Amino acid sequence: MKFDDYYIAPQIKKNLALLGFKNPTDIQFKSIPSILKGEDVLAIAQTGTGKTAAFAIPIINNIQASKIKNRRDGVKCLVMVPTRELAIQVAEVFTEIARFTDVTTFCIYGGVEQQSQIEKLEYGVDVLVATPGRMFDMISQGYLRLHRINTLILDEADHMLDLGFIEDITDIKSKLRQRHQTLFFSATINKDIKRLAYSLVSNAIRIQVSPKDPVSENVSHSVVFVEMDDKRFFLERFLKDNPDSKVLVFVRTKVRAERVLKAMKRVGLSSTTLHGDKEQHERATLLGDFKTGKTKVLIATDISARGIDVPNVDFVINYDLPDKSENYVHRVGRTGRGTQKGQAISFCSKDEKIILDNIEGFLGNNIEIMTVSNLDYEQTKDLSSDGSDDWQSLLDLDERFEKKKKKK
């Protein structure tokens, strides 16, 4: 089936064609008909499967069909997301698909002054994408009214659960008109997610696009066993062997991100970091540079990179294995998006072996082991441009980073 075969507005079909969308992905094929009919949907789909467009296309169509031209009568669809980056990203998808329609989209999030956001809300928008904190600020101040909302969308619901937004979700749900559509989208499913989902939607159409391996078939993933203190040598070698590739490196903490950044800088490798201590304007610039390819290597934490859609990521490097097995799926989902191929490589130390076992248990199969001979291992260390085996300078960085954080 092609998008031309759907009963959707011709303007939307035109936009999809311009964006290069010809055939729906699995999640789009299964979700769009139900959403068009106004049904509640509970959808489980991996990152990179096109799930944002799966709800954006039918919602834009339904709003366009009922919209009275030039009349601004309040927000009709509210999309709740866990992070600022995801809010911007989802709003961009809505804007692109609604380009030749009368449907307007805007996003609000914290970390920036709110006056321009207030002015936009007062002018009128149809689709509002929001993070919980700024959304409740706008509601409490009277700038955001919910009485005309017909559809509530929870995107990356599993991540919102992780961040403790359950009460915010149930609170906003209770403020909406009694008859409204709820769309619940999550990359992973467990008993907590199920409990949350079934408390919010009743008689929902359940859609699950999850192959036996929750990692996309477009991603080849492997693990290499490396001692914790030697990981920097292996990352250095990898980046020097792949100078033109776009690489996303995951670490566990903000301090760790800055530590790896400095280690790469010492050997002449350019990279940037993305984590929660970055100001919003700086985060937007860093992410923009990585998207356009101006920056080739981005070192990120799980929370900062969750849900971001960066095209053409060639490699994901798990410098540190994630504490939660679900986050492994989210991480490697940054590459191999759509029809593109990608590779994910994990560095696993002895202390992380139990984490690897948990990840493999979650995936339901073993991750391919990348064998490194003793000779190759030692050569990787010996060939490093980093002549220092002393990590004292990096420990000093930790102290300066923590002091700087306390001053804020």
Domain ranges, ordered by start, for the chain: 3-209, 219-407
**Who wins on pLDDT, 363 or 92?**
92
Let me know: does 136 contact 168? Beta carbons within 8 Å. yes
| Predicted local distance difference test score (pLDDT) of residue 31 | 93
Q: Confidence class of residue 353 from pLDDT cuts 50, 70 and 90? A: very high
108 contact partners, CB below 8 Å, separation of at least 6 = 87, 114, 117, 121, 128, 129, 130, 131, 134, 135, 138
**Average pLDDT, rounded, for the chain:** 85
In angstroms, the Cα distances linking 62 to 25, 32, 54, 57, 277 are 20, 11, 13, 9, 39
| Predicted local distance difference test score (pLDDT) of residue 389 | 47
Q: How many other CB atoms are there within 10 angstroms of residue 407's CB atom?
A: 6
Q: Confidence class of residue 400 from pLDDT cuts 50, 70 and 90? A: low
Secondary structure element (H or E) that encloses residue 51, with its range:
helix 51-66
| Predicted local distance difference test score (pLDDT) of residue 326 | 80
- Averaged over 25-39, what is the pLDDT? 92
> In whole angstroms, what is the distance from residue 2 CA to residue 37 CA?
19
> In whole angstroms, what is the distance from residue 248 CA to residue 296 CA?
8
358 contact partners, CB below 8 Å, separation of at least 6 = 325
Q: Confidence class of residue 214 from pLDDT cuts 50, 70 and 90? A: low
Token pair 């509210």 in the structure block, residue: 78
* 406 phi/psi in degrees, rounded to 5: -70, -30
| Predicted local distance difference test score (pLDDT) of residue 49 | 77
DSSP state of 332: H
Query: Can you identify the CATH homologous superfamily of domain 219-407?
Result: P-loop containing nucleotide triphosphate hydrolases (3.40.50.300)
Number of C-alpha atoms within 13 angstroms, CB side, residue 268? 7
Token pair 């990120």 in the structure block, residue: 300
The 10s digit of each residue's pLDDT in 295-315 is 999 999 887 766 567 778 999
The 10s digit of each residue's pLDDT in 40-55 is 999 888 777 788 999 9
The 10s digit of each residue's pLDDT in 120-156 is 898 889 999 999 889 999 999 999 988 889 999 999 8
pTM comes to 0.68
> In whole angstroms, what is the distance from residue 285 CA to residue 272 CA?
11
**What strand order describes the sheet that includes 368-369?**
272-274, 297-300, 247-250, 315-318, 342-348, 219-225, 368-369
Let me know: does 299 contact 271? Beta carbons within 8 Å. yes
> In whole angstroms, what is the distance from residue 377 CA to residue 374 CA?
5
Q: Is 90 exceeded by the pLDDT of residue 251?
A: yes
Cα torsion through 153, 154, 156, 158, rounded to 10: -150
271 contact partners, CB below 8 Å, separation of at least 6 = 239, 249, 260, 261, 264, 265, 295, 296, 297, 298, 299
- Extract the tokens encoding 240: 């020097």
> In whole angstroms, what is the distance from residue 171 CA to residue 174 CA?
5
Q: Is 70 exceeded by the pLDDT of residue 338?
A: no
Query: Can you identify the CATH homologous superfamily of domain 3-209?
Result: P-loop containing nucleotide triphosphate hydrolases (3.40.50.300)
Token pair 């004292």 in the structure block, residue: 392
Percent of the chain with pLDDT over 70: 89
Q: Please report which residue ranges of 333-384 form alpha helices under DSSP H.
A: 353-363, 374-382
